[in-house]
Structure 1
Amino acid sequence: MSKPEEILSALGGAENIEEIEGCITRLRTEVVDGSLVDQAALKALGAHGVVVAGTVVQVVVGPEAEMIAEDIQDLL
Structure 2
Amino acid sequence: MKKAEIGEIIAGLGGIGNIKEAEGCVTRIRARVADPGLVSATALKKAGAFGVVQAGNSVQVVVGGTAETLAEDIQDLLPE
Identical columns (%): 59
1:8 to 10, 17, 27: 10
With normalisation by structure 2, the TM-score equals: 0.88
Deviations 1:29-72 (A, max 9, x none): 10001110010010111111101111000000000001111111
Please list every run of 5 or more consecutive structure 1 residues that lacks an aligned counterpart in the other structure.
none
CA distance in 2, matches of 1:12, 1:35: 8
Question: Matched residue of 1:72: which SS?
Answer: helix
With normalisation by structure 1, the TM-score equals: 0.93
Question: Matched residue of 1:62: which SS?
Answer: coil
Moved >4 Å (runs of 4+): none
Q: Which amino acid aligns with 2:14?
A: G
CA distance in 2, matches of 1:20, 1:47: 15
- Calculate the aligned-residue CA RMSD, in Å: 0.8
1:20 paired residue number: 22
